[in-house]
A and B are shown apart, each in its own frame.
Chain A
Amino acid sequence: MARITMREAISQALWEEMERDPKVFILGEEVGVWGGTYAVTKGFYDHFGPDRVRDTPIAEAAIVGSAIGAALTGLRPVAEIMTINFAFSAMDHIVNQAAKIHYMFGGQMTVPLVIRAVSGGGRQLGATHSQTPDAIFAHFPGLKVVAPGTPADAKGLLKAAIRSDDPVLFIEHATLYQVRGEVPEGDYIVPLGKSTVQREGRDLTLVTYSKMLEVSTKAADQLAREGIEVEIVDLRSLRPLDMGPVLASFKKTNRAVIVEEGWKSYGVGSEVAARLYEEAFDYVDAPIKRVAQKEVPLPYNRTLEQSAIPGVEDVITAVKEVLHG
């Protein structure tokens, strides 16, 4: 197994799927000649050519809408939305078209579409370019939403997404591209809709995903030095949401903290906490806590921005509050 970055893992998955299946093609802003704003598709244009690596106008509805149409004809488009903040300009096509066409026409049409989008804050891009609106998209039945936290999962989930006959929103975190990890070579698939235990522990269950897996892992390392062993469950997919490993872990630890980067209200943490209360109430030994973004548009100033995004200390504090009351 090679130790590569998240960027390389995503790039590898795309490259291998395009080599494997001529129906897979990429479209989006600056994916071709430029090589991808985050350099994920660097070298693709020269290798696969302009028909399969298609630069588009800055027109998100046209990007997602045309990708839906191409998917209806049996192609497997991978549409890149430069950042998830721009996905709002394609909101109708994502949630009202892609997510509903299969159902609404009685199953006769399928939309094997992947939308890659970069989410997350922490880079001083200001309020419009720093959001983590993952939960909004996870609200809609018909759409699958995945957000990997490790390079291996990024590769395996992206391959699964491209091969899926359902529309998948594949959320990448802007500050995870340089993170390294062991990634299996070749045909490595991680099934969609499966959460997983990333770290075992007996005292408390930390439920998280994407960038906050990294933050939660650092918090767990520090807590371990104090003798507190937390178990980390990585959701990986927000829809369908796989509560199996979360419930199994919670029934063992009886305590949970949910960590997400997005806003707390109506978020992933709200959903997971509600499910735990609904499905495992008898196992609750302490109030479940949510760690999430402060309820403000993210500011430009670095100190202010960092204070709004959940950090290692926020997670440690929440864990201790749940453990010690």
Chain B
Amino acid sequence: MEKSEHFRLYHEMVVIRRLEEKAAELYQQGKIGGFLHLYIGQEAVSTGLISARRPEDRVITAYRDHGVAINCGLSAREVMAELLGKATGCSKGKGGSMHMADVHKNFWGGHAIVGAHLPIAAGLALGDAYVGNQAVTMCMFGDGATNIGYFHEALNLSKVWNLPVLWVCENNLYGMGTAVERASAVSEISQKALGYGMPSRRVNGMDLMEVRQVASEMIEQIRQGAGPMMLEAITYRFRGHSMGDPERYRKPEEVHRYQENDPIGIYRRYLIDQKIGTEDELNALDDDAMAVVQDAVEFAEASPEPAPEELYTNVYVEA
């Protein structure tokens, strides 16, 4: 991988981190409404995965979608503007935190009903297979989604129809506040792929390079017609499920232990150890990321509210 690509990925991760820290502040100030599910701690999964895609490959995820949006190429400005519900947001202020998308960047959302986007992902892949596109759909979801029926219907269908889907489970050990082993009959989620005759791999989701390496291999196999596969990335969210989570289900020591394995820190150390970047270069990227986020906040705050008539647009394509 080129140095510039490494720097781009590092920069993206830091942008996501700073953007979400800023979002948490704005939420506390009442400038962001509804739910706000932060991706902090999990950035390496999405950044590594999406760095392995080609532009024609589709990405779809659940409601913890800010980072995925940035990785798919949405600007920090349109993400922040969407959080503030502004007309300049990626979904025109109608979607909010959980419903970001940009189809021109092949990012298909941002879906808030647990597991419901998995059958939709199968359909995206079907669309490509139907017209002969050599594209792969990457569908991201949490460990909690593997206990709902949609997961099983979608995996089964994808295998029966040999659809080009990479199912990516971000196992952050908790579905909201319920630990995986309290909710799932098998806590090694990748085993669930066996029931559908599907190959699966398990990676350290805190290590961008590992996620990227394994995802690249799987994506290319799927592109060659190997059929759907499942990737389980073990990760951890440093913040609560959403804002206002009392976190009674885990101890602060546990959170601190994982924070010592910060995915940004791991990648930074890798870049330095491999002599890809210097402290100074990476510090400059950190500074730039902060500036990008600051600019996004200023842009979002200065952006107009949606026009009142937007209430009635887009209900139907044809009135």
Which one of B91, B94, B116, B157 contacts A56 once the chains associate, using CB atoms below 8 Å? B157
Q: How far is the CB of B105 from chain A (nearest CB, A)?
A: 11
A259 within 8 A of partner (CB): no
Complex Cα–Cα for A164 and B103 (A): 20
Contacts of A65 in B (CB 8 A): 116, 118-120, 122-123, 150, 153-154
For residue B125, give the distance in angstroms from its CB to the closest CB of chain A.
7
Nearest chain A CB to B20 CB, angstrom units: 21
Least distance between A162 CB and chain B CB atoms (Å): 13
Binds B, one of A33-41, A99-107, A211-219, A289-297: A99-107
Indicate whether A67 reaches chain B with its CB closer than 8 angstroms: yes
Complex Cα distance, B94 from A73, in Å, reads 22
Q: In the complex, what's the smallest C-beta–C-beta distance from A161 to chain B, in angstroms? A: 11
Is there an interface contact between B317 and A105, defined as CB atoms closer than 8 Å? Answer: no
- Main SS of chain A's interface residues? mixed
Does any Cβ of B come within 8 Å of A57's Cβ?
Answer: yes
Shortest distance between the CB of A81 and any CB in chain B (Å) = 14
The answer to whether B157 touches A62, judged by C-beta atoms less than 8 angstroms apart, is yes
Q: Quick one: which of A62, A72, A109 has the most chain B CB within 10 A?
A: A62
Is the CB–CB distance between A72 and B127 below 8 Å?
yes
Nearest-CB residue, chain B, relative to A165: B317
Given that A59-B157, A61-B150 are contacting pairs, would A104 and B94 also be in contact in the complex, using a CB cutoff of 8 Å?
Answer: yes
Q: A69-B122, A70-B126, A104-B91 are in contact. Are A59 and B315 (CB under 8 A)?
A: no
| CA A61 to CA B155, docked complex, whole Å | 12
Set of chain A residues within 8 Å of B121, measured between Cβ atoms: 69
Chain A minimum-CB-distance residue to B91: A106
Question: In the complex the two chains form, is B113's CB within 8 Å of A107's CB?
Answer: no
Across chains A and B, the number of contacting residue pairs, with CB separation under 8 Å, is 143
In this assembly, does A271 line the interface, its C-beta being within 8 Å of a C-beta of chain B?
A: no
Those of A97-127 within 8 Å (CB) of chain B: 97, 101-110
- One digit per residue, 1 when the CB lies within 8 angstroms of any chain A CB and 0 when it does not, for chain B 246-281 equals 000000000000000000000000000000000000
Contact of A142 with B by CB under 8 A: yes
CB of B210 within 8 Å of the partner chain = no
The range of chain A's interface size is 35 or more
Q: Which residues 47-84 in A have Cβ within 8 Å of B in the complex?
A: 51, 54, 56-57, 59, 61-62, 64-75, 77
Q: Which of A54, A97, A164 contacts B318 (CB 8 A)?
A: A164
Q: Does A96 contact B (CB under 8 A)?
A: yes
A109 near B119 (CB under 8 angstroms)?
Answer: no
Q: Interface digits, A123-162 against B, CB 8 Å rule (1 contact, 0 not)?
A: 0000000000000000001101000000000000000000
CB neighbours of B153 from chain A (8 A): 57, 59, 61-62, 65
A92 at the interface (CB under 8 A from B): yes
Given A62-B122, A67-B123, A106-B91, decide whether A51 and B130 contact each other with a Cβ distance below 8 A: yes
* A72 and B120 form a contact (CB under 8 A): yes
| Tally of chain B residues near chain A (CB < 8 A) | 45
Residues of A within 8 A of B116 (CB): 61, 65, 92-93, 96-97
Q: How far is the CA of A110 from the CA of B101 in the complex (A)?
A: 13
Q: Among B93, B101, B127, B150, point to the contact of A108 (Cβ < 8 A).
A: B101
Q: Render B80-109 as a binary contact track against A, CB cut-off 8 A, 1 for contact.
A: 000000000111111100010111100011
Contact of B314 among A70, A71, A77, A106 (CB under 8 A): A106
Residues of A within 8 A of B168 (CB): none
Q: How far is the CA of A105 from the CA of B124 in the complex (A)?
A: 16
Verify if A261 is at the interface (C-beta below 8 Å from B).
no
How far is B90's CA from A238's CA once the two chains are assembled, in angstroms?
33
A106 to B315, CA, bound (A): 9
**B317:A70 contact, CB within 8 angstroms:** no
Q: Scoring B residues 299 to 319 as 1 if CB is less than 8 Å from chain A, else 0, what string do you get?
A: 000000000000001111110
Provide the residues of chain B in CB contact with A250, threshold 8 Å: none
Given A70-B126, A92-B113, A103-B315, do A62 and B156 touch, yes or no (CB 8 Å)? Answer: yes
The minimal Cβ–Cβ distance linking A103 to chain B, given in whole angstroms, is 5
Say yes or no for A166: interface residue by CB 8 A criterion: yes
B114 to chain A, nearest CB (A): 10
Known interface pairs A97-B116, A106-B94; A57-B124 also in contact (CB < 8 Å) = no
A45 lies within 8 A of chain B by Cβ = no
Say yes or no: is B110 at the interface (Cβ < 8 Å to chain A): yes
The yes or no answer to A25 lying at the interface (CB within 8 A) is yes
With known contacts A103-B314, A144-B316, A69–B120 Cβ distance under 8 A: yes
Q: Bound state CA distance, A105 and B214, in angstroms? A: 31
Known interface pairs A93-B119, A104-B91, A104-B94. Does A69 touch B125 (Cβ–Cβ under 8 Å)? yes
Residues in chain A near residue B111, CB distance under 8 A: 97
Complex: chain B residue closest to A111, CB-CB: B317
Say whether A66 contacts B113, CB under 8 Å.
no
Q: Which residues of A contact B161 (CB under 8 A)?
A: 54
| With contact pairs A57-B156, A61-B149 given, residues A74 and B127 touching in the complex (Cβ less than 8 Å) | yes
- Give Cα A70–Cα B313 distance, bound, in whole angstroms: 24
**Is B186's CB within 8 Å of the partner chain A?**
no
B163 vs chain A, min Cβ distance (A): 9
Asked if B128 CB lies within 8 Å of chain A CBs, one says yes
- List B contacts of A25 (CB < 8 A): 130
Cα–Cα, bound, A166→B130 (Å) = 21
CB-nearest residue of chain A to B163? A66
The 8 closest A-B pairs by CB, nearest first: A69-B123, A65-B119, A73-B127, A106-B92, A66-B123, A62-B153, A165-B317, A107-B314
Given A71-B123, A142-B316, list of 10 further CB < 8 A pairs? A54-B161, A65-B123, A66-B123, A73-B127, A75-B130, A92-B113, A97-B116, A106-B92, A108-B103, A165-B317
Cβ contacts A to B, 26 pairs, < 8 Å: A57-B153, A59-B153, A61-B119, A61-B150, A65-B116, A68-B119, A69-B121, A70-B123, A70-B127, A72-B124, A73-B123, A73-B131, A75-B131, A96-B113, A97-B111, A102-B317, A105-B95, A105-B103, A105-B110, A108-B102, A108-B104, A109-B101, A109-B108, A141-B315, A164-B318, A166-B317
